[in-house]
Amino acid sequence: MNNNLFSVKDAYCVFLLKEKSIHDYKFSTKNSKHISQRGQTRFLFYCVVIQFISDILSTKFVRKARKEIETKLITSVLLQLFRNGKVSILLDNAVQLIDEYMTKTKNEDDKNIFNELWYKDDLNAFLKIERLHEAVKLNYLIRDYVRVMKRISNKVVPYDEIANGIKIKKDE
Tell whether 134 is covered by a domain.
Answer: yes
Tell whether 97 is covered by a domain.
Answer: yes
Q: Percent of the chain having pLDDT more than 70?
A: 89
Q: How far apart are CA 147 and CA 92, in angstroms?
A: 15
Tell whether 169 is covered by a domain.
Answer: no
Q: Please give the tally of structural domains in the chain.
A: 1
Tell whether 171 is covered by a domain.
Answer: no
Q: Which residue has the higher pLDDT, 129 or 164?
A: 164
Q: How far apart are CA 22 and CA 16, in angstroms?
A: 10
Tell whether 155 is covered by a domain.
Answer: yes
Provide the whole-model pTM: 0.87
- Domain coverage including residue 53: 8-164
Tell whether 30 is covered by a domain.
Answer: yes
- The pLDDT tens digits of the residues spanning 140-163 come to 999 999 999 999 988 999 999 999
Q: How far apart are CA 78 and CA 100, in angstroms?
A: 23
Question: What pLDDT does residue 35 have?
Answer: 46
Helices marked H in 85-157: 87-101, 123-127, 136-149
Tell whether 44 is covered by a domain.
Answer: yes
Q: Per DSSP, which regions of the chain are E strands?
A: none
pLDDT class of 6 with cuts at 50, 70, 90 = confident
Tell whether 89 is covered by a domain.
Answer: yes
- The pLDDT tens digits of the residues spanning 92-103 come to 999 999 999 999
